[in-house]
Structure 1
Amino acid sequence: MNVLNLTSKSNSPPFELQIRALEERGIDCTTVSVPGMVTAESGRSVLDYVRFYPTVLTESLGSYDLVHANYGLTAPFALAQPRLPVVLSLWGTDLDGELGWVSKRCAPYCDATIVMSEQMERELGQDCHVIPHGVDFDIFEPMSQSNAIDRLGWDPDAKHVLFPYKKERTVKNYPRAARIVDAVRDDVSGPVHLQTAREVPHAEMPIYMNAADCLLLTSDREGSPNVVKEALACNLPVISVDVGDVRERLEGVTPSSVCQTDAELRRALATVLTSETRSNGREQAEKINMGWMAPRIHDVYRDVVDH
């Protein structure tokens, strides 16, 4: 099978993992990315997307079986080519963000739509295939916490709370995370450090997740945050606000908690930090293994091509 992938996020680790997993199943994947640069201050321009369409149209004339539009903003260009069936994958922010209307307008015209969670399916209001992005369990796995702390040069006598994003990403709400950690210092003996994943290569994230005592997620909105799945694969406890599919992902995972208020976040975080135990996340997370994801996407492809 030959698949033409469209994306505006070709360097996204979940997308790269998806392509690798599909190619391991014998699927030939070609990727066309939206041109232009994305910076911390701005996304791509309208002109970048205008330049994208001629490339998509020309490439679609090749010997492909279908087009897979990865991320909602690529859907109009997938649908504008005249000859190939279209599979659309929505990642989260392309559905609940300010341009979510693009995804909602395009999804009914696609031959199949993949979403990351049942909540996204309900929000979209149509039948979808719920296939979360996978995690490479060979990379994200438990390791010695003391060894991980040594490798990062962290204080071995402190508690470490991991905020898995850059502070500058407004939607991730770092100020709330800082406020919670500042408050919890009154509840826990010894120093508590809030660590961020600023400029951390993705391949090094397992070290951070094994060195930390807890992952703290305070985002204003999420779709299906991969950092939560990666934390589960490393048996790192997670304390999170109720966004995206986090509640679904943390079902049966202890110690971990989904909270609404700052007071709940503070209590849950203090409980995790004083318990000094890892979670059972890995054994609860089989549905986020890349080996589970790829066959299901392949099944969607077969169904679309057959019909």
Structure 2
Amino acid sequence: MRVLEVCQELPNRYYPQLGTFIKQSIDSIADQGIDLMVISPKAFVLPFSAFPYHNFSKLPRIEHTEKYDLHYPRYIYAVPKKYFYPITGISYAHFVSRYAIKNIKPEPDLIHAHFSYPDGYGMMGLAKRWKVPLVISALGTIERKVAYEGSHTSKKIIEAMNFADKILSVSEDLKLHITNLGIDERKVHVVPNGVDTAKFKSAGREHARKVLNLPQEKNIVLFIGALRKIKGVDYLIEAAKSFVDTNTDLYVVGRDDGLRKSLEKRAEELKIARSIKFTGPVNHEDIPLWISASDMLVLPSLSEGRPNVVLEALSCEVPVVATDVGGIPEIMTEGETGYLVPAKNPEKLSEKINKLLEDESRREKMGKFGRTSIIQRGLTWEAHAKKTVDIYSELI
């Protein structure tokens, strides 16, 4: 079986934090013995530091890895996104398809696009030309939010999902959102993401803090994720005024998508800036250490698919306080692996954080149960890959 995997957002030498969980998915599929080719389209950018993601211009057209060849074709990403995102899909379809026709030999038996837009939409024409099935992964915000906006982009997302032979949803909640758009339920399959339990395991709090040069004596509340509105970090800053003090710090780990300055300003206004540490992005290989060093992970998202960071925290024996959105309640067990709170509610968020801060034995008990539940439920990348390959086999 020869499969073309397509995803605009994959980690690379210049931006290693992009789409790490998608790379884990693709790698796990390769480990099942599938002959893969991978395309990760990148926007045309000028090679000047003033431009976002300017280092894309330095990427080669192709890299040879141990598991597959990785191609970086270019396409035009139309900005501002608010007005021209529909054009991006058209550009993607034209440039990426033209590249694939010329460079992907022999033709694959199946195409798997890892976002419904622009990946899925952009691959429709190529699937028609090659007369092969198209599988689309549905990961969260695009299908839950953008597809419902009634915009030109929304119509293209729905068009792609209607065209696809199979849709792989990361959660039952997301599957419901997809079928409510009128997509045939029979072709929507729930395939949860996994976690590498060998990599994501407790490194010991004291050891992890020593390696990362973090204070041993303080409580550490941890957020990991991009600083963007959908992640609800502004609500976490509001909640922090009720739990940070001389004994507790909040660490905000992740790339800035335009919010950091406003978050820092708000922390200053609340007079808690000294207790909130913005680290910026960190190497994904260090994430198990960061989680192990913390007393809890907090995820205050407004919308989610099935966030891997929650799986990773539980696998590292760290309890989680998260909003009850998307597929998060499908991962967590309320009161046993952590706590669920309503979105946009800093009061409830701080209440549950403080409840865990006050009881170390509760944190340890929840952490151990979290890892046990991950293993018992088989939430691994191997299980994810086997289910994905079974779906491929149905189509070929």
Same fold (TM over 0.5): yes
2:86 matched to 1:79?
A: no
| Inter-partner Cα distance in structure 2 for 1:94 and 1:253 | 30
Match of 1:143 in 2: 203
Please give the residue correspondences for 1:1-307 in structure 2 after superposition, counting only pairs within 5 Å.
1-11=1-11, 12-36=19-43, 39=52, 44-45=77-78, 46=88, 49=92, 50-58=94-102, 62-73=106-117, 74-81=119-126, 82=128, 83-98=131-146, 101=154, 102-125=156-179, 126-127=185-186, 128-167=188-227, 169-185=228-244, 191-197=247-253, 198-251=280-333, 254-260=336-342, 261-276=345-360, 277-278=363-364, 279=367, 280-285=369-374, 286-305=377-396
SS of equivalent residue, structure 1 residue 209? helix
Which one-letter code corresponds to 1:117 in the other structure? S
User: How far did residue 223 of structure 1 move?
Assistant: 1.3
Task: State whether residues 231 and 237 of structure 1, in contact with CA within 8 Å, keep that contact through their aligned partners in structure 2.
Answer: yes
Q: How far apart, in 2, do the equivalents of 1:86 and 1:255 lie?
A: 37
Alpha carbons of structure 1 residues 252 and 183: separation in structure 2 relative to 1, 3 Å = closer
Question: How many pairs does the alignment contain?
Answer: 300
Cα distance, 1:174–1:282 mapped onto 2, change above 3 Å: same
The alpha-carbon distance between structure 1 residues 55 and 40, as it changes in their structure 2 partners (threshold 3 A), is closer
Rounded to whole Å, the distance in 2 between the matches of 1:224 and 1:48 is 29
Could you tell me the TM-score, scaled by structure 2's length? 0.71
Q: Is the 8 A contact 1:8 1:33 kept in 2?
A: yes
Check whether the contact 2:243–2:354 (CA below 8 A) recurs between aligned residues. yes
Distance 2:52 2:378 in 1: 33
Deviation for aligned residue 1:152: 1.4
State the shift of 1:130 in Å: 0.7
Report deviation, 1:283. 1.3
Structure 1 residue 61: deviation in Å? 6.6
The alignment's TM-score, normalised by the length of structure 1, stands at 0.90
After superposing on structure 2, the runs of 4+ consecutive aligned residues of structure 1 that deviate more than 6 Å are none
Q: Which amino acid aligns with 1:274?
A: E
In 2, Cα distance between equivalents of 1:159 and 1:226: 23
Long gaps (5+) in structure 1:
none
Where relative contact order (Cα < 8 A, 6+ residues apart) is larger, the structure is: 1
Give 1:251 deviation, angstroms: 2.3
Q: Which amino acid aligns with 1:283?
A: T
2:33 partner letter: G
Residues in 2 aligned to 1:109 and 1:166: alpha-carbon distance in whole angstroms: 31
Bigger radius of gyration among the two:
2
Q: Which segment drifts farther, 116-125 or 83-92?
A: 83-92
User: How far off is 1:3 after superposition?
Assistant: 0.2
1:81-124 deviation line (CA, Å, top 9, x unaligned): 22111111111122124356233322122111101000111000
Structure 2: distance between partners of 1:266 and 1:40: 35
Shift of residue 226, structure 1, vs aligned partner: 1.1
2:236 and 2:346 in contact (8 A); partners too: no
Alpha-carbon contact 1:253-1:284 (below 8 Å) kept: no
Question: Does the 8 Å contact 1:238/1:257 carry over to 2?
Answer: yes
Residue type of the alignment partner of 2:4: L
Q: SS state of the match for residue 288, structure 1?
A: coil
Per the alignment, in what secondary structure is the counterpart of residue 140 of structure 1?
Answer: coil
Contact 2:224 2:309 in 1 (8 A): yes
Contact map agreement 1:181 1:192 (CA 8 A) in 2: no
The amino acid across from 1:200 in the alignment is: V
Letter aligned with residue 317 of structure 2: N
How many angstroms apart in 2 are the aligned matches of 1:291 and 1:59?
Answer: 30
SS of the equivalent of 1:135 reads: coil
Please give the secondary structure, in 1, of the residue aligned with 2:238. helix
- C-alpha RMSD of matched pairs (Å): 2.3
SS at 1:155's partner residue? coil
The residue type paired with residue 240 of structure 1 is A
Shift of residue 282 of structure 1? 1.3
